[in-house]
Structure 1
Amino acid sequence: PRNAASGISQRLDSKYSQYCTLFAVDLFPNNNDLTTESQKIDLLKKYGFTPVESFLCSDLSKVEKIYQDFLSHKRNSYPYEIDGLVVKINDLNLQNKLGFKNLRPKGQVAYKFPPDTTQTRVLEVNWETGPMGTITPVAKVEPISLSGAII
């Protein structure tokens, strides 16, 4: 589903877009009326968007507990695939003061989940020669489902 949504969103026409749902992850207001991330989420709801699930945490132990909950069971029961969580400082003025480093906001941190893994069987190995004469082994494997894709 995640790979399909990515492909559909990049189409020049709207074919298959009726099968996608938009989940709003952020809002960039034109004014300074909003002072917190919580207010941005409330405004998204008011405008009729479905924002991603959010939690207001007062300390890092609560952040760790939420991460562990997602990792242990909540991630697999979600209606869509997620690869991690984003922790943001609620105070937008403080986020702005912290600024950016390498185009990434310093007031936000992404915590990725470990990648999904599984096992399969190698059915055969073919040797392919590239345009520059490089010989590369290419394995044909028994098809498996991993992260919503058949490999």
Structure 2
Amino acid sequence: MRTNFDFTPYRRSTVGFDRLFDLLETGMRGDAPADGYPPFDIVKEGEDSYHITLAVAGFAPNEIEIVAQQNQLTVSGKRADDGDKGEYLHRGIATRAFERRFQLADFIEVGNARFENGLLSIELKRVVPEAMKPRKIEIGGGNPANDRIEGPKTEAKAA
């Protein structure tokens, strides 16, 4: 079975879809992180609102950084050195550094972030600009001859 797909013919006949094809190719190559840490949920709360919840047990809010840039949300965490407060017999709480990236659709804006009980929640909302929303065009009435746009008038020369 063929596992790779060539998007070249589609790239030649489309304009402005480069990012979409790049995402499809990246997903097919499996460039996404394989370990799945930290685990997360994505919830659709309404027609245009979402939130992402990451389980970041063992981290403090000041050890986590959230960056929204263009159509990408990056959440990274690096735990401060705890100074070997004792000898661990078992270390089951993963506190290793992480970076989790989320590709956002057009017009998705990142809102507030909350940290409660080891869970980081990030609110997202789709905000479509007025220029991109459909608008109704009124049909005017009247005499079509009077509705024409007139250009500059030129006078005919008599010979």
- TM-score after normalising by structure 2: 0.27
Whichever structure has more strand as a proportion of its residues is: 2
- TM-score after normalising by structure 1: 0.28
Question: Which has the higher Rg, Structure 1 or Structure 2?
Answer: 2
